Amino acid sequence: MSSIEHCESMSGLHPDLATNYNRISSLYTSKLWHQVTLAVLEFMSTPSTLRSTAEGGNSYLALYDQIILPVDKKLNPLRLARIASNVASSLLIIPAVPGAQGDSVAAITVLENLLEKKGQLGKSATLFTESKLALLKLTQMQNSAHQGEDNSDEMAQIKGMIKSGSKILETELEGAETIVHSAFYEASMTYRKLVGPPEVFYKQAMLYLTYTPLDQMSVEEKYNLATGISLAALTGEGVFNFGEVVEHSILSCLTDTENKWLLELMHVFATGNVVEFQRITAQYDPQIRAQPALLSRVELVKEKITLLALVNMVFERPSSERTLDFTDISSRIGVPFEQVEWVIMKAFSLGLIKGSMDEVDETVSVTSVMPRVLNTQQLKDLSERFGEWAVKVSKIKDYMGDQIPTLV
């Protein structure tokens, strides 16, 4: 069956899609390859266009085989890779062979066959395809994890791809289309979600959000991602800048859900509020105990809220009043007086604050606080402080102006 005959056959089989198939056929006949790829991508962007062929197979795969592959050398490599990725994803819904539950083998084969043409694809399309293939395999591994399958070889290959892909993305593909970055970081964060550690998953997930609009994700995907990022931020070592994720709209996906307590907890960590932390952990104790990630790092989480309480205590004070008594610190961060010195030393070692400690007078003088993303209220407070500072500078200027004639 020729390409034109295939489109005619599908138009007759699915009359509601006749306009789409006729358009693709017309562009193909006119050899408008750029427009052909755009039309096919637009067609595949609507899930309802995925149907079965007359033989009961996958319509996207048939379109790929009949329209795209015969002219693949004439197409934009990245758009070709995007079409192949859409076809691979569709095979998990409607398999190539009628009657199957989902054809992950055929999906993987589509992408692997495309990667045999690396010389034709170029680096951007190759990295995009490798990332989509890795994501497909990782998803398959997650589904087969309870079946005791040994995936060590596959995981090693994916780890190698991510390592080399990261270097290529940073050094050779700085100006690549955002979909390349999005595909790579989605694969990278999914890998890190499986193998850890949480702080690396958090970093990769935030990069993924940088390059991926939320409207391109399903409600379930956004919910799962918001949950995963929150847990990683709470349990990840070295993750103290909660402002960057709290101010991101991804967390709003947890509102009015069974994980709304995570949203509350994230805001508590962003402000370093120990009292609210204790209230939430008591109120939602059953939900927290149901999260293995939190249970396995309870002490780290408690230590983190203590350190953030100290950071916020310092931040709230004017720069001229940043000598803190151990007694005040003990009351604010909720630790016994004898543990205050250890908390300060820990904050120094992590670079959360800088300054000097006087063990005799039992005070600490802070010269700077870690840079971080601020919420609206914190920005407002900072703005007011800048205003007060400007007034002081103006008064000093006036005083110096009055004194200069006297000195002369």
Q: Can you spell out the DSSP letters for 152-211?
A: HHHHHHHHHHHHHHHHHHHHT-TT--HHHHHHHHHHHHHHHHHH--HHHHHHHHHHHHHH
What does the pLDDT average to over 91-108?
80
pLDDT surpasses 50 at 380: yes
Task: Please answer whether residues 36 and 67 qualify as being in contact, where contact means their C-beta atoms are separated by less than 8 angstroms.
Answer: yes
Please enumerate in sequence order all residues whose Cβ is within 8 A of that of 175, keeping only pairs 6 or more positions apart, or say none. Answer: none
13, 41: one domain:
yes
> Is the domain of 6 the same as that of 108?
yes
Q: Could you report the per-residue pLDDT of 185-219, keeping only the tens digit for each?
A: 999 999 999 999 999 999 999 999 999 999 989 99
pLDDT at residue 116, rounded to an integer = 94
| Phi-psi map region of 296: left, alpha, beta (phi>0 left; psi -120 to 50 alpha) | alpha
Question: Is 238 a domain residue?
Answer: no
Q: In what order do the strands lie in the sheet with 323-325?
A: 323-325, 363-369, 353-358
Q: Examine residue 222 and state whether it is found in any structural domain, yes or no.
A: no
Average pLDDT of 73-87? Answer: 96
pLDDT beyond 60 at 358 = yes
Chain-wide mean pLDDT for the chain?
A: 89
Give pLDDT, residue 395. 66
Residues 91, 105, single domain; the answer is yes
Regarding whether 330 and 357 lie in a shared domain, the answer is yes
Count CA atoms closer than 13 A to 279's CA, side-chain side: 7
Domain co-membership, 364 together with 305? yes
The answer to whether position 186 is within a domain reads: no
- The DSSP result for 277-289, as a single string, is HHHHHHHTHHHHH
Range of the domain at 96: 1-116
Residues 15 and 41 in one domain: yes
The domain spanning residue 342 has which CATH number?
A: 1.10.10.10
Evaluate whether residue 399 is within a structural domain: yes
> What is the DSSP secondary-structure string of 288-312?
HHT-HHHHTTHHHHHHHHHHHHHHH
Question: Considering its fold, how many domains does the chain have in total?
Answer: 3
The two three-digit tokens of residue 260, written as one number? 């709304």
Residue bearing the bigger pLDDT, 385 or 195:
195
For residue 140, what are its two tokens?
């398959």
Residue by residue, what is the 3-state secondary structure of 16-71? HHHHHHHHHHHHHHCCCHHHHHHHHHHHHCCHHHCCECCCCCEHHHHHHHHHHHHH
Least confident of 5-9, 59-63, 242-246, 392-396: 392-396
Instruction: Say which amino acid occupies 232.
Output: A
Q: Please report the pLDDT score of residue 74 as a whole number.
A: 94
pLDDT of res. 375: 55
| pLDDT bucket at 244, cuts 50 / 70 / 90 | confident
**Domain identity same for 22 and 36:** yes
Q: Do both 408 and 316 map to the same domain? A: no
What pLDDT does 369 receive? 87
The predicted pLDDT at position 408 comes to 47
Q: Is the pLDDT of residue 177 over 80?
A: yes
Mean pLDDT (whole number) for 341-361: 94
Between 328 and 175, where is the model more confident?
328
β-strand pairing of 353-358 with 363-369: antiparallel
Q: Which of 60-69, 270-279, 349-358, 363-372 has the lowest mean pLDDT?
A: 363-372
Beta bridge partners of 58: 52
Tell me: do 366 and 384 sit in the same domain. Answer: no
Domain-embedded: residue 191: no
User: Same domain for 405 and 307?
Assistant: no
**pTM of the predicted protein model:** 0.86
Write the single-letter amino acid at 161.
M
15: confidence class by pLDDT, cuts 50, 70, 90: very high
In a domain? residue 149:
no
CA-based angle 86:34:78, to the nearest 5? 45
Task: Looking at the structure, tell me whether residues 321 and 362 fall in a common domain.
Answer: yes
Q: Is residue 339 part of a domain?
A: yes
- Of the three residues 116, 141, 165, the one that is the final residue of a domain is 116
Q: For position 384, what pLDDT does the model report?
A: 59
- Examine residue 318 and say whether the peptide bond preceding it is cis (omega within 30 degrees of 0): no
Q: Which of 104, 113, 95, 28 is nearest to 68 (CA)?
A: 28
pLDDT at 100: 57
Cα dihedral 239→135→169→40 (10° resolution): -130
Q: How confident is the model at residue 146 (pLDDT cuts 50, 70, 90)?
A: very low
The whole-number pLDDT of residue 58 equals 92
Select from 116, 148, 180 the last residue of a domain. 116
**Residue 327 placed within a domain:** yes
Phi first, then psi, for residue 256 (nearest 5°) are: 60, 35
The whole-number average pLDDT for the span 18-38 is 95
Same domain for 6 and 37, yes or no, is yes
Percentage of residues in the chain with pLDDT exceeding 70? 88
Question: Where does residue 168 rank: exposed (0-12), middle (13-18), buried (19+ CB within 10 A)?
Answer: middle
Distance of alpha carbon 256 from alpha carbon 249, whole angstroms = 15
Whether pLDDT at 406 is above 60 = no
